[in-house]
Homo-oligomer: A and B are copies of this chain.
Amino acid sequence: MEVITSKDNRKIKDLSKLLNKKYRDIENKFLVEGFHLVEEASKSNKLLEIIKTEDCECAIDAPTTLVTYDVLKKLTNTMTPQKIIGVVSKLDEKEIGNKVLIVDELQDPGNLGTIIRSSVAFNFDTIILSENTVDLYNDKVIRSSEGMLFKINIIKKTTQEAIDYLKNKKYKIYGTKVDGGSNIKNIIFPNKLAFIIGNEGNGVRKEILDQCDEYLYIPMNSDCESLNAAIATSIILYEIGDK
């Protein structure tokens, strides 16, 4: 099979545009890097094709293009990339399940990826991302999700639309509040619920938080003002998911 050796190759140039959100949205595709993520994409029937180096011994059944390592580097932002890149169809949005996480304006891609991973671990079935949340298909989100984005239903919707829909369907909606909230350890959670998390610095916007049905907090030492956003969210998912 021919090996692409030029970084100016048309196909590579076109694919490299997928590092950019604008083109991902136009093409409805995204890139994943490394055998583990390519394999998860393949299992989910979302893998369109792979780009790999000649010496990559990954056995994945998909249309394949061989490239030099230098050319492959055009398709990733990592410094020392793995030797295989997958071109993947964006995920389908399915019906909203019973355990819903609403993510309102979260900014850090590592936090979002980690939260997706924890959501799968603790049996949440749906994540709703608000319009101003970091892009799901950002490479850092995908990497830190460890492929878990393929194992959960992720939906884009404004937070207000999500709240209106869920209230109409009798979901109980939870937010966090230290003053006036309940200790999470003492709450008995219903079967159908949503939990809203907000921006790392500012939390959930007031007009959204005011619409929650109930508020909770994680008990902690007063020396510590707050937890990291992904940590706090994961502890809450852990407590809810188990009950």
Interface residues, chain A, CB within 8 Å of chain B?
A: 110, 114, 117-118, 120-123, 144, 146, 148, 151, 185, 218-221, 223-228, 230-231, 234-235, 238, 242
Task: Flag if B118 contacts A231 (CB, 8 Å).
Answer: yes
Residues of B within 8 A of A224 (CB): 117, 120-121, 148, 151
Q: What is the oligomeric copy number?
A: 2
CA distance A117 to B148 in the complex (A): 26
- From known contacts A185-B242, A242-B185, infer whether A121 and B227 are also in contact, taking CB-CB under 8 Å: yes
Q: Could you list 13 examples of A-B contacts with CB < 8 Å?
A: A110-B110, A114-B228, A117-B228, A120-B221, A120-B224, A122-B220, A146-B225, A146-B226, A151-B223, A185-B242, A219-B242, A235-B235, A235-B238
Could you say which of B226, B234, B242 contacts A227, with CB atoms under 8 Å apart?
A: B234
Q: Which residues of B lie under 8 Å from residue A242 when comparing CB positions? A: 185, 219
- From residue A34, how far is it (CB to closest CB) to chain B in Å? 13
Q: 4 more A-B contacts (CB under 8 A) besides A120-B224, A146-B226?
A: A151-B223, A219-B242, A228-B230, A230-B231
Closest to A124 in B: B221
Report chain B residues within 8 Å CB of A235.
234-235, 238
CB distance from A133 to the nearest CB of B (A): 19
Of B122, B185, B226, B228, which is within 8 A of A221 by CB? B122
Task: Write the nearest CB–CB distance from A212 to chain B, whole angstroms.
Answer: 22
